[in-house]
């Protein structure tokens, strides 16, 4: 649809966005494979000075900042992995807001870890029991009360 030139531009933006976020998080998050990345990179969602915080806590807290959480625990060779994969369509403002949220979450992990352990706070159901959800599947469609067809 975009042709060869458009496809190249799209790929370049995806690579640029991932490297920009990685650079913004440098020194705050550990990036085990610290090199120029392609469209994604992996950061660790844990800190030595924030015991008990895991990647899942970081991901759940991101929801309070109105961001969809990244993939957790993949790849398996990175402990507490957060797969950061911004798309080519994100503008600098959104990238900065995302990086700022991750930086704030890192600070919260060290000063108020319970904020992360209890996240998300802004969703209708709060923090779900991940183990129970995996064992007792309930598949249904939930619609907000003000949803109109």
Selected residue with higher pLDDT from 87 and 125: 87
CATH number given to 3-135: 3.90.1150.10
DSSP-assigned letter for residue 51: T
Contacts of residue 112, defined as CB under 8 A and 6 or more positions apart, other chains included, come to none
Q: What is the pLDDT of residues 38-91, one digit of tens each?
A: 999 999 999 999 999 999 999 999 999 999 999 998 888 999 999 999 999 999
**17, 27, 69, 87 from 103: Cα distances, Å:** 17, 10, 14, 20
Residue 139 pLDDT level (bands cut at 50, 70, 90): confident
pLDDT of residue 143: 72
CA gap 82, 63 in Å, rounded: 14
Task: Please tell me the least confidently modeled range out of 46-50, 103-107, 117-121, 131-135.
Answer: 131-135
Whole-prediction pTM: 0.86
The two structure tokens encoding residue 121: 């706070």
Q: How far apart are CA 149 and CA 146, in angstroms?
A: 10
Q: How far apart are CA 27 and CA 20, in angstroms?
A: 14
Q: What is the mean pLDDT of the chain?
A: 92
Question: Is the Cβ–Cβ distance between 70 and 84 less than 8 Å?
Answer: yes
Chain length of the chain: 149
Residue 127 clears pLDDT 90, i.e. is over it: no
Q: How far apart are CA 22 and CA 31, in angstroms?
A: 8
């Amino acid at each position: 649809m975009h042709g060869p030139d458009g496809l190249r531009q799209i790929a370049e933006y995806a690579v640029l966005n991932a490297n920009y976020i990685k650079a913004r998080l440098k020194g705050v998050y550990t990036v085990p494979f610290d090199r120029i990345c392609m469209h994604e990179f992996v950061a660790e969602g844990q800190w030595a000075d924030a015991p008990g915080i895991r990647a899942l806590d970081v991901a759940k807290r991101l929801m309070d900042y109105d961001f969809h959480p990244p993939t957790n625990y993949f790849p398996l060779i990175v402990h507490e992995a957060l797969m950061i994969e911004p798309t080519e369509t994100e503008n600098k403002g959104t990238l900065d807001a995302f990086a700022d949220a991750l930086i704030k979450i890192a600070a919260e992990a060290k000063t108020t870890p319970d904020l992360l352990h209890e996240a998300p706070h802004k969703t209708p159901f709060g923090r779900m029991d991940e183990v129970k959800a995996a064992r007792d599947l309930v598949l249904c469609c939930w619609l907000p009360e003000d949803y109109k067809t």
